[in-house]
């Protein structure tokens, strides 16, 4: 059974026109899903529909069997779907890391002993266990965002939604956060939905949804999506950098195979020549 489904979901902010138009999608337990689309295509709105911050005008969003259209399910849904937003500074509230991570479970009424366990688990999962007593404002962007992820993990969500969570980070911070998220998916079986405009972050996903003008334009593996150049052009998306370089080299006669998406694949193919 799918862990999260959207069925014929429509949503508008001000009744002037739908921002989300008849979206139907499924996310299975343990999947790593990327949602891509250019600015204003509806990605963030979708993220908020996933954790019931917004409610569909039409259609249903169901998480682990709980429909977000029923008010009494909101608590169950928000327990299961944790969202990490773009700006780490807006997500950290306490002046000590451990208090920040404890904030969510404290609000859920989790017992003191268990909160301690959850803080340890969450900080370890993001590789920040040494920073238990640190001041968040003194940390780097990547470290802050890892603390924000720990705060969400302390709620033990089944689904982690990353809404452009690496957009404000430098390349090192992006790498740190990506590694943590990939690890959580592989080692802890956390289902991941990442919303991003960095195509490099899409290549590791199990499946991709392309959204354009509030509609699902396509779904497939990263290889399938990036092979469809007409789709990319139509939806204003770019190729990952390694794929762009490979394309250029092929057009200049370098005999590389099709379908190169990552730096590693490109390096391997070049070395093989
Ligand atoms: P994306 O995340 O893909 O950039 P959004 O979901 O943020 O797209 O926005 C989709 C559309 O909804 C845009 O046209 C945007 O201007 C509009 N929108 C987003 N948030 C609001 C809001 N709070 N009130 C009114 N319109 C909004």
pLDDT at 221: 96
Domain that holds residue 108: 4-222
Summarize the confidence of residues 116-143 as an average pLDDT.
Answer: 93
Position 87 pLDDT exceeds 90: no
Count of structural domains within the chain? 1
CA-proximal residue: ligand 1, atom 23 (nearest) = 13
Q: How far apart are CA 123 and CA 166, in angstroms?
A: 18
Q: What percent of the chain clears pLDDT 70, i.e. is strictly above it? A: 100
* 62: β partners: 5, 67
Q: By alpha-carbon position, which residue is closest to atom 27 of ligand 1?
A: 13
Q: Is the pLDDT of residue 108 over 90?
A: no
Going from the Cα of 152 to the center of ligand 1, the distance in angstroms, rounded, reads 24
**pLDDT of the residue at 168:** 80
Q: Give residue 46 CA to ligand 1 midpoint distance, Å.
A: 10
Report which of 98, 102, 121, 101 is spatially closest to residue 112, judged by C-alpha positions: 102
Summarize the confidence of residues 42-54 as an average pLDDT: 95
Ligand 1 atom with least separation from CA of 41? 3
Q: How much of the chain exceeds pLDDT 90, in percent?
A: 76
Ligand 1 center–CA 69 separation, angstroms = 21
Nearest-atom number in ligand 1 for the CA of 37 is: 3
Looking at every residue in the chain, the average pLDDT score rounds to 93
Predicted confidence (pLDDT) at residue 1 exceeds the cutoff of 80? no
| 253, part of any domain | no
CATH of the domain at 20: 3.40.50.300
Report which secondary-structure segment, H or E, holds 227. helix 222-227
CB-CB contact of 210 with 216 (8 Å): yes
Residue of 187, 199, 192, 173 lying closest to 263 (CA atoms)? 199
Least-confidence region, from 1-10, 135-144, 167-176: 167-176
SS3 240: coil
Q: Which of 10, 40, 216 should be mutated for ligand 1, with most atoms under 8 A from CB?
A: 40
Residue 109 lies in a domain: yes
Choose the most confident range, by mean pLDDT, from 9-13, 89-93, 161-165, 269-273: 9-13
pLDDT band at 264 (very low <50, low <70, confident <90, very high): very high
pLDDT at 270: 95
The answer to the question of residue 244 being in a domain is: no
- Distance from Cα 113 to the centre of ligand 1, integer Å: 41
Report if residue 24 sits inside a domain: yes
Which of 9, 12, 13, 83 to mutate for ligand 1's pocket (most ligand atoms within 8 Å of CB)? 13
Q: Read off the pLDDT of residues 142-195 as tens digits, 9 standing for 90 and up.
A: 999 999 999 999 998 999 999 998 888 888 888 888 888 999 899 989 999 999
Say if 257 falls within a structural domain: no
pLDDT at 169: 80
Q: Whose CA is nearest to atom 16 of ligand 1?
A: 40
Give the residue-averaged pLDDT of 207-211: 97
Question: What spacing in Å lies between the alpha carbon of 42 and ligand 1's midpoint?
Answer: 6
Tell me, what's the pLDDT at 165? 86
Residue 188: per-residue pLDDT: 87
Q: Is residue 12 part of a domain?
A: yes
Is the CB of residue 188 less than 8 Å from the CB of residue 56?
no
pTM above 0.85, yes or no: yes
Query: Which protein residue has the closest C-alpha to ligand 1 atom 26?
Result: 13
In a domain, 271, yes or no: no
pLDDT at 180: 87
Nearest residue (by CA) to ligand 1, atom 18, is 13
For ligand 1, residues with CB inside 6 Å are 13-14, 19, 37, 39-45
Nearest atom in ligand 1 to the alpha carbon of residue 163 is 2
pLDDT bin (cut points 50, 70, 90) of residue 107 is: confident
Is residue 107 domain-resident? Answer: yes
């Amino acid at each position: 059974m799918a862990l999260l489904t959207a069925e014929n979901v429509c949503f508008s902010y001000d009744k002037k026109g739908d921002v989300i138009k008849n979206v139907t999608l499924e996310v299975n337990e343990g999947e790593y899903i990327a949602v891509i689309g250019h600015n204003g295509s509806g990605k963030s709105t979708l993220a908020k529909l996933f954790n019931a911050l917004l409610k569909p005008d039409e259609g249903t969003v169901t998480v682990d069997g709980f429909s977000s259209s029923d008010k009494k399910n909101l608590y169950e849904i928000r327990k299961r779907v944790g969202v990490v937003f773009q700006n780490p500074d807006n997500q950290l509230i306490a002046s000590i890391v451990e208090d920040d991570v404890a904030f969510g479970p404290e609000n859920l009424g989790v017992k003191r002993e268990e909160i301690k366990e959850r803080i340890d688990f969450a900080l370890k999962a993001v590789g920040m266990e040494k920073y238990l007593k640190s001041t968040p404002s003194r940390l780097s962007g990547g470290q802050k965002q890892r603390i924000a992820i720990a705060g969400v993990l302390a709620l033990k969500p089944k689904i982690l939604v990353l809404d452009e969570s690496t957009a404000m980070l430098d390349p090192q911070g992006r790498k740190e956060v990506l590694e943590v998220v990939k690890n959580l998916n592989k080692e802890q079986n956390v289902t991941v939905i990442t919303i991003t405009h960095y195509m490099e972050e899409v290549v590791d996903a199990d499946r991709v949804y392309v959204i354009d003008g509030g509609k699902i334009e396509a779904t497939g593996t990263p290889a399938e999506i990036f092979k469809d150049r007409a789709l990319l052009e139509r939806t204003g998306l770019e190729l990952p950098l390694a794929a762009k370089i490979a394309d250029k080299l092929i057009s200049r006669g370098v005999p590389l195979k099709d379908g190169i998406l990552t730096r590693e694949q490109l390096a391997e193919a070049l070395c093989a020549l």
